[in-house]
């Protein structure tokens, strides 16, 4: 689903637009200005063919998808990495150190997948497949892909390894927020071991330090302009000593 000339939504499940498998997060694709494309997050990996079909329908050549950037290691965001890498052998996977460690080893307990299957959140037959990570980045270190400048921002709280990505293109700045921030100033807080309300609030305050036009979250609605108002909405709740509402 094309959003503008250089951005497309190529994956989205039941917490979004039902473009692809029900358990997929939003998967964002950016054209890099040199004919290449970069994906943000990989979905759950249960049906990669549907993701690739959306890419093809949106005019994104599969052989030009060169990079995959991960926000965190939860199954709905990184479970598809190994399957994408298998179908796109030229693909380079990018992550921050803790995410890279989990994705590389396939540590299901670290992403609460064992508990999530037992709770019925994931199907009992869902298995996480490990995936090598090619590029491990430091928080705050710029990553240049074509004319895009990507900056990882630490945003733990939803998960301990979570990072949002600020994507600066000529004339526009996008925040790929993963599950750290949603429209309306909402968070995503679950009763799992690596969730922290304190860190989630600190992450909102950290995001407020950055300027961006568009907010591209991991689920639900996105916005292409005036996106800072959603951070401001969360900050208003925090200023009253409250916790922003959760989507879960």
- Quick one: three-class SS letters along the chain? CECCCCEEEEECCCCCCCCCCCCCCCEEEEECCCCCEEEECCCCCCCHHHHHHHHHHCCCCHHHEEEEECCCCCHHHHCCHHHHHHHCCCCEEEECHHHHHHHHHCCCCCCCHHHHHHCCCCCCCCCCCCCCCCEECCCCCCEEECCEEEEEEECCCCCCCCEEEEEEECCEEEEEEECCCECCCEECCCCCCCCCHHHHHHHHHHHCCCCCCEEEECCCCCECCCCHHHHHHHHHHHHCCCCCCECC
Q: In the prediction, which pLDDT does 108 show?
A: 96
Q: In the prediction, which pLDDT does 191 show?
A: 87
The CA distance from 140 to 248, in Å, is 29
Superfamily of domain 7-239: Ribonuclease Z/Hydroxyacylglutathione hydrolase-like (3.60.15.10)
What is the mean pLDDT, run by run of 10 residues, along the chain of 248 residues? 96 98 99 98 98 98 98 99 97 99 97 94 96 97 98 98 98 98 96 90 98 98 98 98 94
Instruction: State if pTM tops 0.85.
Output: yes
């Amino acid at each position: 689903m094309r959003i503008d000339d250089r951005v497309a939504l190529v994956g989205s499940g039941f917490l979004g637009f039902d473009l692809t498998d029900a358990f997929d997060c939003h998967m964002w694709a950016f054209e890099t200005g040199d004919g290449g494309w970069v994906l943000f997050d990989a979905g759950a990996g249960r049906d990669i063919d549907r993701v690739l079909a959306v890419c093809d329908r949106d005019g994104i050549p599969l052989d030009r998808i060169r990079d995959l950037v991960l926000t965190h290691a939860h199954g709905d965001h990184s479970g598809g990495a190994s399957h994408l890498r298998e179908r796109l052998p030229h693909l380079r996977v990018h992550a921050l150190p803790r995410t890279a460690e989990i994705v590389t080893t396939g540590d299901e307990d670290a992403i609460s997948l064992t508990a999530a299957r037992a709770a019925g959140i994931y199907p009992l037959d869902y298995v996480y497949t490990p995936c090598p990570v090619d590029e491990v980045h430091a928080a705050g270190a710029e990553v240049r892909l074509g004319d895009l400048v990507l900056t990882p921002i630490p945003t733990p709280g939803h998960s301990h390894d979570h990072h949002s990505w600020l994507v600066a293109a000529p004339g526009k700045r996008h925040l790929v927020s993963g599950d750290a921030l949603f429209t309306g100033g909402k968070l995503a807080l679950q009763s799992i071991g690596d969730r922290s309300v304190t860190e989630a609030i600190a992450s909102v305050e950290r995001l407020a330090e950055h300027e961006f036009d568009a907010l591209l979250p991991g689920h639900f609605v996105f916005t292409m302009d005036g996106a800072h108002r959603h951070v401001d909405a969360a900050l208003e709740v925090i200023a009253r000593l409250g916790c922003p509402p959760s989507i879960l």
